[in-house]
Structure 1
Amino acid sequence: MKINVEVDCTPEEARRAMGLPDFTPIHQSYVAMLQESMEKGASPELIETLMKSWAPMGEAGVTFWRQLFDMSGKGKRE
């Protein structure tokens, strides 16, 4: 037997119904901090550090994406 249930609600309503915390103020603060850093001229080292923290598997993830971008760039130049 298969039962489908469709719920029509906003993401905010779903979050509240499931009892999940509201991280909107923290997210807005974080985005504002990133925008300020970028406007001031973020250094390549800062960008690399951010990418490492966001990438899955840390350094291995960054290496994977770097290789992928390198390979895609070589194909376009030829």
Structure 2
Amino acid sequence: MKVNVTFDMTPEEFRRLLGLPDVQQFQADVFEQMMEKMKAGEDGYDPMSIYQPMMEKGMSAMTNFQQNLMSMMMAGQSKD
């Protein structure tokens, strides 16, 4: 049996349905700060410095996931 279900909703409605936070204002603020610094020609300004904390957390989560997978694989091999 195959069942298809179609929902006709906007991305905003879908976000609310899932209970996800609205980050549009945050993204607009971060982008505005980046543009101000770029336009001012601030010496030593690195656009990645704004996103670096978020990227580090994302990468550490991926590293932890990979380490967990590797430890499960190694545990499975040692029992044979």
TM-score by length of 1: 0.52
- Give 1 or 2 for the bigger CA radius of gyration: 2
What aligned pairs does 1:21-40 form with structure 2 within 5 A after superposition? 21-40=21-40
**What is the CA RMSD across the aligned residues, in angstroms?**
2.8
Shift of 1:43: 4.8
Q: Distance in 1 between matches of 2:48 and 2:19?
A: 35
Q: Structure 1 stretches (4+) deviating beyond 2 angstroms?
A: 1-4, 42-45, 47-51
Identity of counterpart residues, as a percentage? Answer: 35
Change (3 A) 1:48 1:23: closer
Give structure 1 stretches of 5+ with no counterpart: 58-78
Give structure 2 stretches of 5+ with no counterpart: 60-80
Q: Distance in 2 between matches of 1:37 and 1:16?
A: 33
Change (3 A) 1:26 1:15: same
**Greater length-normalized contact order (CA 8 Å, ≥ 6 residues apart):** 2
